[in-house]
Amino acid sequence: MTTPLRLGIAGLGTVGAGVVKIVQRKADLLARRAGRPIAITAVSARNRDKERGIRLGDYAWEDDPVALARRDDVDVFVELMGGADGPAKAAAEAAIAAGRDVVTANKAMLAHHGQDLALAAEKAGAVLRFEAAVAGGIPVVKALTEGLAGNEVTRVMGVMNGTCNYILTRMEHAHLPYEDIFEEARKLGYLEADPTLDVGGIDAGHKLALLASVAFGAQVDFAGVALEGIERISIADIEQARDMGYRIKLLGVAQMTGRGLVQRMSPCLVPADSPLGQLEGGTNMVVLEGDPVGQIVLRGAGAGEGPTASAVMADVMDIARGTRLSTFGQPASALAQATPAVSSVPAAFYLRMELQDKPGALAKIATVLGEVGVSIDRMRQYQHTEATAPVLIVTHKTRREALDQALAGMDATGVLEGHPVAIRIEDV
């Protein structure tokens, strides 16, 4: 009889329970496709007595995930606890040190410690896989490391946080402000315990850093990701962008340039008729561009029990088949240290501001833009209030550094009410 691949699963929350269900319910299918049975031998979680809707009586229980990682009857340690440090990192390190392969959905841990863990795995002859850490059920890591292995990747971009996409599309369709939809998302359970991980772009930034490492052969550099969340996006921005043929998305972009590696996670305007512009609700989308393939668009559920457990099992099945790839697509020892770009890629920008309703105010703003070399492509004035005149400007392509100079100059003119909102317009 073929020797089964034995799993030890740490973390029995939504994803962990989903993995157990797949192994229990699809045992015959998995065995046929892997060429050997897939079996769970031991599990670990914080609460042994919690009702999870799965059968656990056949498995050994470990209160300590590190002890689970070291068990002799575990071939693959499946880490689904989460957290950049603490038990997740300690257990992953213990598993690697014991020569166990590791499959994880932990984007935060890999974004902060991925290089060290990958080096340790190589030294121990172990495999470290993380398809489930990026974009849920979308097989984007496999696409980059296998399907597009013959391509030079030129750009990776995408919507990688379903909660933010839900909030932005819901604001548009319900004509409600950010604060109302944020509260709605919280009540629906869409937000992390710390909501800034979602709306601040941190969660999606972790994913972008991992994809950039795979795409460009660089060490993971989360510190090099420029982060901006969606908290300042107003219903006015969404409606005015729509009037111009755009939609606003929290968009991650990674691109290798002559000035270094660009990594940014920020709200952007994208054409409404583009694949990214048509993306609705909590769905994720990743766009890969390479030579010679051109553009590839991957769309699917970015979170949830089924999609994420599916991605975990994709890695498990590769290990069962004997496929042993480097963590980031090439040996960690060969990965270059990322050099952050010294300046941004030029782009057009959307600017929204409230001007004091007095003569010469708009002329001052135009002068400030001209002085730093930012030219105006389009401009609209909306209905005045008694004291202010809302103005929307779309610039020609410029560097963000020049725009930041202009924004600082605008604040010094004394004709603004509040601070301008600046949103990049991304070519997709």
Contact 110, 103 (CB under 8 A): no
Non-local (6+) Cβ contacts of 53 within 8 A are 17
Tell me how far apart the alpha carbons of residues 238 and 337 are, in angstroms, rounded to a whole number: 38
Kindly compute the dihedral angle of the four CA atoms of residues 422, 226, 90, 163, in this order, to the nearest 10 degrees.
30
Dig out the tokens for 78 from the structure.
């499946």
Tell me how far apart the alpha carbons of residues 3 and 24 are, in angstroms, rounded to a whole number: 17
CA 277, chain centre distance (Å): 17
Residues in the chain: 428
Is 249 one of the catalytic residues? no
Active-site position among 89, 107, 207, 249: 207
Contact 208, 225 (CB under 8 A): yes
Dig out the tokens for 41 from the structure.
């031998």
Tell me how far apart the alpha carbons of residues 268 and 248 are, in angstroms, rounded to a whole number: 6
Task: Describe the crossing of helices 162-174 and 235-243 by its angle, rounded to 10 degrees.
Answer: 80
Other Cβ atoms less than 10 A from the Cβ of 24: the count is: 12
Looking at the chain, the number of H-run helices and the number of E-run strands are 14, 16
Residues with catalytic annotation? Answer: 207
